[in-house]
Amino acid sequence: MQTIGVLTSGGDAPGMNAAIRAVVRAGIYNNLKVMGIERGYAGLINGEIKEMDLSSVGDIIHKGGTILKTARCEEFKTDTGRNKALNVLNVFGIDGLVVIGGDGSFNGAQKLSHLGIKTIGIPGTIDNDLAYTDYTIGFDTAVNTVLDAIGKIRDTSTSHERISIIEVMGRHCGDIALYAGLAGGAESVLLPEEAFEIDDICKKLIQGKARGKLHHIIMLAEGTGNAFELQKEILEKTGIDARVTVLGYIQRGGTPTAFDRILASKMGAKAVELLLKGKSSRVVGIKNNQLMDMDIYEALSQNREFDKEMYTLTKILSI
């Protein structure tokens, strides 16, 4: 292996830059030529590729987003699109590719590996929705961003003695709501993984008010339902007018936490190590605090285990 490529694909996540930096620097350290591919698979098909050197990844470890930019690309889902990509990779002499993204991007990487390109995936998504790894790059930063927002919303909620509904991202995965909910001392945490009764929440709100609680924070994971619908239901059932904050894209930005930078640095270097060993169609992850790698197909077929114990704890601590 002489030349490798790196791209970011799907939704961006804080820490992607730290991962790019690690791939480039570990590659150059091992005498590889490293090519940066812009705009994910779309840029690959269009040949938007440039050689990376040590300084091209200088001063980026602390930056959110991705210097390589990211995109979604329907064409890459077709055989024709992937063959175009293969052609481009051959023209640039790239025989190994590191793909930083989520499950969709990994599917693409796996299919590319069938065409003879060695591919390694690094999990970059704030959602933490990949079953094979305990953490994805960007998740910890997103949780801390939500935590910061909870603190600020709590101040104003307390002053006005209000109920707050905070809707957070995560698609079908409730981890951002769960982790930020526990760390932020939310009174109710509503997740797609656990059914809940609206009447129970209303009861808790009324009991809280009766014992003089000044605020009540309801964390709502986006995959659970709509915050404004919930607000309406609460109003109808209790007469209490809750305030809604939908945090949205602020959760995807910002400077990555130390945890995400370290995770990204380790994973980037590991991906290069795997390519040097001739491995392909594998993803890097972290399980029980140990860096690991696994076949992409196997990783994507695993069912996510929801942390029920942690969920129960949020309930116990918010009685």
10 binds ligand ADP (CB under 6 A): yes
**Minimum separation from the CB atom of position 28 to ligand ADP (A):** 26
Residue 176 dihedral angles phi and psi, to the nearest 5°: -60, -45
Closer residue to ligand ADP in complex, CB, 76/135 = 76
Closer residue to ligand ADP in complex, CB, 40/184 = 40
Query: Using CB under 6 A as the criterion, what x/- string covers residues 84-123 for binding ligand ADP?
Result: -----------------xxxxx-xx--x------------
Of the candidates 12, 79, 95, 127, the residue annotated as catalytic is 127
Closer residue to ligand ADP in complex, CB, 75/148 = 75
C-beta neighbour count of 51 within 10 angstroms: 12
Per CB under 6 A, contacts with ligand ADP among 59-78 are: 72-73, 76-77
Query: Using CB under 6 A as the criterion, what x/- string covers residues 32-61 for binding ligand ADP?
Result: ---------x--------------------
Amino acid residing at 37 = I
**Minimum separation from the CB atom of position 311 to ligand ADP (A):** 24
171 binds ligand ADP (CB under 6 A): no
Closer residue to ligand ADP in complex, CB, 7/189 = 7
**Minimum separation from the CB atom of position 74 to ligand ADP (A):** 7
179 binds ligand ADP (CB under 6 A): no
- Quick check: is 127 catalytic? yes
Determine the size of the site formed for ligand ADP (CB under 6 A).
Answer: 17
**Minimum separation from the CB atom of position 9 to ligand ADP (A):** 5
**Minimum separation from the CB atom of position 5 to ligand ADP (A):** 15
Per-residue HEC secondary structure of the chain comes to: CCEEEEEECCCCCCCHHHHHHHHHHHHHHCCCEEEEECCHHHHHHCCCEEEECHHHHCCCCCCCCCCCCCCCCCHHHCHHHHHHHHHHHHHCCCCEEEEEECHHHHHHHHHHHHCCCEEEEEEECCCCCCCCCCCCECHHHHHHHHHHHHHHHHHHHHHHCCEEEEEECCCCCCHHHHHHHHHCCCCEEECCCCCCCHHHHHHHHHHHHHCCCCCEEEEEEHHHCCHHHHHHHHHHHHCCCCEEEECHHHHHCCCCCHHHHHHHHHHHHHHHHHHHCCCCCEEEEEECCEEEEEEHHHHHHCCCCCCHHHHHHHHHCCC
Give the binding site for ligand ADP (CB under 6 A).
9-11, 41, 72-73, 76-77, 101-105, 107-108, 111, 125
The annotated binding site for Mg(2+) is made up of 103
Which residues have a catalytic role annotated?
A: 127
Binding site for ATP, by residue number, is 11, 72-73, 102-105
